[in-house]
Chains A and B, each alone.
Chain A
Amino acid sequence: MGEAAASLPVPYTSVFGPVPTVVSGFAGPFGVRSLELILQTFANAAYAASYLALVAVGLVLIFGVMGIVNFAHGELYMLGAYATFYFYSEQQMSFLVAVALGLVLVGAFGLLIERGLFRPLRDNPLGGLIASIGLLLCLQAAAALEFGTKKKPVVAPTQEILTLLPGVTLPWTRVYVILVAVGLLTALWIFLKRSKFGWALRACAQDPEAAALQGISMNQTARLAMFIGAGMAGVAGALTAPLVEPEPHMGHGIIVAAFIVIIVGGIGSLGGAVIAAVLYALVQTFVTTYWNGVMADIVGLLLMLIVLVVKPAGLFGVKDRA
């Protein structure tokens, strides 16, 4: 591969023109072009898309029912990660039990938030947003006080590696994330299509007053949405804990990505969020691999701006409810 790289000297230029050469003689970042690398990058992107989709779908669900943009959603993801640290690493429970606890406990915490914060602020979208920022600060500080500001180590439950193709591999810890994400999202989709809740949820999202007249309990629907939304963020954090290691500020990166995803997907659309998560993960992973990480962030943000300019309600947008 060394020679392959050397034989493909592609000059390194950025969108801002030629880069001041650091040291000549390197093949540029586009020098390594092999099928393996491309396929491996797809595999890496599949993992990134999975946990991002879990977080983003929860965000959409909460927004859909309550009209509140939950800025503290990244901190719910953080709580899930600490759940794994606490139950699995500290209390020596099995990984599966810890992840399940992450889902249930963070979901239950979501119910508390709904009752204590979001219900009183339901007809005040700005208020809900601000309250969630307050919650975000509290949760970050609480995590720092309880667990310290450093990352907490979580030893992966397995070091086995799945070989997809020769030269293209994925650790099982990442495969778990993908499997659980696909499983939970499919279950949610079926639940929303088949159950009364799905119908109630759509009704609440479209017209809360009309839904109330139809005998749909707004509180009931909001509770369920909050439990599912928070639980999915929690499970995403719990599953990825061995990979990213919990720390108090870990929610920041994911909330930014999740916002980009739900904007590109169209805020009210669950399917749109999933598709946008896949799209965003692909762009991020490929730009990081073939260019660099800072550029990946810029490209991601620009992508969102372009989508917003061309379709101000997102790619799969339904009518804005705010």
Chain B
Amino acid sequence: MSIELIKRRLSRRRFIQSTATGAALAGAGIGLAGPVRAEGEAIKIGFLAPLTGDVAAWGAPGLYGCQIWAERVNANGGVIIDGRRHPVEFVAFDNEYSAAKARTGAQKLIEDDGVKFIMMLGGDTMPPVVDISNRTGMLVSTLLPSDLTPETPLLIAPAEVHPIYNVTGVAWLGENKPDLKTAMICAQDDALGRPSVATYLAAFEAAGIDVIEEPLFFDISTTDFAPIMTRMMASDPDIICLDTAYTDYVHPLCEQAFLQGYKGQILSCTMDFYDQVVAKTSKEFMEGVIFQFPDFDDPKMNNPQINFQDPGGFYNEYNRRFPGEWGAVSWEYASIMDLWKAAAESANSAEPEAVLAAMKGTGTGAQCFGEARWWGKELFGIDNALVGNWPVVAIDDGVARIQEFRSIPAWWDRHKDLLIKHMEAMGEMYYQRI
């Protein structure tokens, strides 16, 4: 089915939708202005992510966050549509990070459960679901914007636009620690590691930092990181960049850097459970390590531009209920739900097309870390990623502290040619995918 056809069907459906809503409102008469009335039917939201297996760490903690989100929202009256309070109910399906199970799960969630929105991790599991979403008009979200292509009009990446926000950490280093001149990068060889390497290469080039050698790729099954750190330190870099290495790699890499006597700057996309790394190395060693994911009880998370509802309370509740589980994905699915709820209430409908139209209507949206714009045409072929500010986090006396919120669009406007050049060299542009 062609994209054109989908668009046409969408607009026709949306038309029917809006007239129906209009009629309902007219019939209700005073409904619009009156107080919120009786409980409406529960709105079901699909959660289609790996909950078991070795990718589970990217799904399960997010589902926990959603459960807390749902309880808090439902306790406060749920989602208000047509003057009725609709509680939100999550329907989870474990896709085991398999494309076949993702297809089965998407069909089940849409046809059997009647969900209005599906949240996914993305990656391997996304292509069959994109196909289903295009045919059924289902709105789907991903944490991996590399899933976006011009053929994915109903797929949005509203929480994190990995890996482009990594430029903020490098730009901050370039400004605040100008004596750092050389860098080495290592990364796991996979769908997350490679585009991230391209981003870091562009960011280093933009900041005038010299990447000494070809980035070092390691296999995802690696467990001994001593050889990799030995090799990186052999070039004697000022900055060691761990790219978007997973927690399972970040920890041993940091420990190896410590044990092998590294003295320079460490830069990483994530540093989940950094307290464990501090315990395994030392406070002094980890001082000043830069990464991109804050704790939500950070004082700067109370800044007025933050759109996440009660970040500190959410963080504490999460840690109380799931001790030791807080990580980069814990809040992301929940923050997507904040955006979805606002759009559904403004559209006065939970129907996917109406919600998407309300989300993208103004070209901007309330991303977790502030007002952001729908963007991505040049990088993904479609403006379905929400980018704005992103925090730069540094470890300060053993605790992660936000240094600043830095604008991704501002960097992009100045250096987009660099990023596109490196993405192309890495074969990661959307039109290079086979």
Contact = CB atoms under 8 A, between A and B. Distances in A.
Task: Assess A/B contact in the complex (Cβ within 8 A).
Answer: yes
Interface of A: 1-2, 5, 12, 20-23, 26-29, 31-32, 34, 36-37, 40-41, 44, 47-48, 144, 148-151, 153, 155-156, 159, 161, 169, 171, 174, 242-245, 247, 249-250, 252-254, 256, 285, 288-290, 292-294, 296-297
Interface in B75-128: none
In order of increasing CB-CB distance, the 8 nearest A-B pairs are: A293-B218, A293-B219, A153-B276, A26-B214, A289-B227, A171-B259, A294-B219, A44-B226
Nearest to A296: B219
A151 B219 contact: no
Contacts of B228: 288-289, 293
A20 B56 CA distance: 34
A133 B280 CA distance: 34
Interface in B126-169: none
Interface stretch (B6-14, B362-370, B379-387, B420-428): B420-428
A285 B236 contact: no
Given A150-B57, A169-B260, A294 B230 contact: no
Given A37-B230, A247-B248, A12 B224 contact: no
Classify chain B's interface size: 35 or more
Interface in B209-255: 211-219, 221-224, 226-228, 230-231, 234-236, 247-248, 251-252, 255
Nearest to A36: B234
B226 A47 contact: yes
A244 B425 contact: no
Given A20-B427, A44-B226, A149-B57, A289 B273 contact: no
Most buried by A among B235, B252, B325: B235
B251 A292 contact: no
Given A150-B57, A253-B223, A288-B228, A2 B212 contact: yes
A23 to B, nearest CB: 6
Contacts of B425: 20-23
A316 B279 CA distance: 45
Contacts of B218: 288, 292-294
Contacts of B280: 153, 155-156, 242
Nearest to B237: A2
A41 B227 contact: yes
Contact of B231 (A37, A150, A253, A296): A37
A149 B56 contact: yes
A56 B251 CA distance: 27
A23 B213 CA distance: 10
Contact of B251 (A151, A161, A285, A290): A151
B63 interface: no
A63 B362 CA distance: 68
B326 to A, nearest CB: 11
Contacts of B29: none
Contacts of A294: 189, 217-219
Contact of B230 (A48, A253, A289): A289
B304 interface: no
B348 interface: no
B219 A1 contact: no
Interface in B317-344: 324-325
B422 A23 contact: yes
B170 interface: no
18 contacts: A1-B235, A21-B425, A27-B214, A28-B214, A29-B214, A32-B235, A37-B231, A41-B230, A44-B227, A151-B247, A159-B282, A169-B260, A174-B226, A243-B255, A289-B228, A292-B189, A294-B217, A294-B219
Contacts of A288: 218, 222, 227-228, 231
A2 to B, nearest CB: 6
Contacts of B224: 44, 47-48, 243-244, 285
Given A32-B234, A285-B227, 8 more contacts: A23-B211, A29-B213, A159-B281, A169-B260, A171-B259, A242-B280, A288-B228, A293-B189
A238 B34 CA distance: 66
Contacts of B57: 149-150
Contacts of A47: 224, 226
A292 B247 contact: no
Contacts of A297: 219, 221
B201 interface: yes
Given A41-B227, A169-B260, A5 B325 contact: no
Nearest to A163: B261
B182 interface: yes
Interface in B41-68: 52-54, 56-57, 60
Nearest to B194: A22
